[in-house]
């Protein structure tokens, strides 16, 4: 059932929830037009509460994609993955018959190895395989809230080391990039800077170890947390079409692109919004 948020002065945003815990789709919306601050605030409100916001049937240029991202903050340039010529803020996500696999196929939040990991990412789908290539999203507020109180209290004391994915090392092109391609330590449970809600912040691609635990304790606890993130009750699965956009909040959701469409082609472009130091 579609719902709406509005005030008297501007058009409402009409959206429908994808599940009670994760994701909303904004309906009948055109991202190629200049957005009022009021609309930007409403989109941000949906983003930080639902974790991911979807739009369908969009037709935007690279410039418009960049401008939309800039309404939510400074844009992030990926420490290792090259961009299309002239567009350093755009990250190309492409897989085809020559690819060894899909980038980031595993639960993660983007570049959590950065000292100030990206706040949010906006992926614009361009080419989709005939079948396959969905992306799953899992809500990390829900993952935290489903834990028992003693477990929540224990995890609130812990920090974890996040290191760049191994594949990045082979892509390092400059000293500037190399200096950003290092590990960072973040709280296992972070507080979202806007919603103030607590969210689980470890992931299977970047998190290497929990500080102070033995190897055996790390193996058990991280395995438990990675299995917990995988609980279908926190998740949704998004089926893309060319023109679909997913705008996710890395501070409170993780995502998992499926790797089920080889040898077909799937191409998307992402802009990524800078974040702050997790606390």
- Which residues lie near ligand SIN (CB under 6 A)? 93, 104, 110, 121, 123, 135, 255, 257, 268, 270
Residue 269 three-state SS: strand
Query: CB 238 → ligand SIN: shortest distance, Å?
Result: 8
Catalytic annotation on 223? Answer: no
Q: What angle do CA 10, 241, 137 make, to 5 degrees?
A: 80
User: Closer to ligand SIN at the Cβ: 13 or 50?
Assistant: 50
> Which long-range contacts link 89-92 to residues 24+ away (Cβ below 8 Å)?
89/271, 89/272, 90/62, 90/65, 90/66, 90/269, 90/270, 90/271, 91/269, 91/270, 91/271, 91/272, 92/267, 92/268, 92/269
User: Closer to ligand SIN at the Cβ: 46 or 93?
Assistant: 93
SS3 of 92-130: the string is EEEECCCCCCCCCCCCECCCCCCCCCCCEEEEEEEECCC
Closest CA to 192 of 122, 135, 115, 139: 139
Q: In the numeric block, which tokens belong to residue 242?
A: 């060319």
Query: CB 206 → ligand SIN: shortest distance, Å?
Result: 12
Catalytic annotation on 38? Answer: no
Query: CB 78 → ligand SIN: shortest distance, Å?
Result: 10
Q: Which of 162, 190, 255, 266 is catalytic?
A: 255
Q: Which of 21, 76, 78, 110 is catalytic?
A: 110
Q: In the sheet that 235-238 helps form, which strands lie side by side, from edge to edge?
A: 235-238, 135-139, 253-257
User: Closer to ligand SIN at the Cβ: 154 or 262?
Assistant: 262
User: Closer to ligand SIN at the Cβ: 186 or 270?
Assistant: 270
Q: Which of 108, 162, 180, 192 is catalytic?
A: 108
Q: In the numeric block, which tokens belong to residue 32?
A: 């190629």
User: Closer to ligand SIN at the Cβ: 39 or 199?
Assistant: 199
Catalytic annotation on 108? Answer: yes
DSSP characters for 146-201?
A: TS-HHHHHHHTT-EEEE---HHHHTT--SHHHHHHSS-EEEESEEE-TTT--EEE-
Query: CB 164 → ligand SIN: shortest distance, Å?
Result: 14
User: Closer to ligand SIN at the Cβ: 162 or 255?
Assistant: 255
Query: CB 260 → ligand SIN: shortest distance, Å?
Result: 12
Catalytic annotation on 255? Answer: yes
Query: CB 91 → ligand SIN: shortest distance, Å?
Result: 7
Catalytic residues: 108, 110, 255, 270
């Amino acid at each position: 059932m579609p719902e709406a948020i509005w005030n008297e002065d501007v058009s409402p945003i009409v959206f429908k929830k994808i599940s009670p815990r994760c994701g909303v789709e904004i309906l009948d919306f055109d991202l190629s037009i200049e957005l009022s601050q009021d609309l930007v605030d409403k989109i941000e409100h949906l983003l930080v509460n639902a974790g991911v916001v979807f739009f369908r049937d969009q037709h935007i240029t690279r410039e418009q994609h960049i401008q939309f991202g800039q309404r939510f903050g400074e844009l992030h340039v990926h420490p290792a993955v090259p961009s299309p010529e002239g567009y350093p803020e755009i990250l190309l996500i492409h897989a085809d018959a020559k690819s060894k696999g899909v980038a980031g196929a595993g639960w993660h939040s983007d570049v959590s190895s950065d000292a100030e990991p990206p706040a949010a990412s906006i992926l614009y789908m361009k080419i989709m395989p005939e079948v396959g290539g969905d992306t799953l999203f899992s809500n990390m507020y829900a993952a935290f809230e489903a834990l028992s109180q003693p477990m929540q209290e224990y995890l609130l004391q812990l920090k974890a080391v996040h290191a760049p994915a191994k594949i990045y090392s082979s892509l390092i092109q400059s000293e500037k990039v190399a200096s950003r391609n290092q590990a960072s330590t973040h709280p296992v449970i972070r507080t979202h800077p806007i919603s103030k809600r607590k969210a689980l912040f470890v992931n299977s691609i970047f998190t290497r170890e929990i500080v102070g635990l033995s190897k055996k304790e790390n193996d058990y606890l991280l395995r438990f947390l990675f299995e917990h993130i995988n609980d279908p009750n926190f998740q949704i699965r998004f089926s893309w079409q060319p023109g679909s956009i997913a705008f996710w909040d890395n501070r409170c959701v993780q995502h998992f692109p499926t790797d089920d469409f080889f040898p077909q082609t799937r191409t998307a472009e992402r802009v990524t919004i800078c974040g702050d130091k997790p606390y």
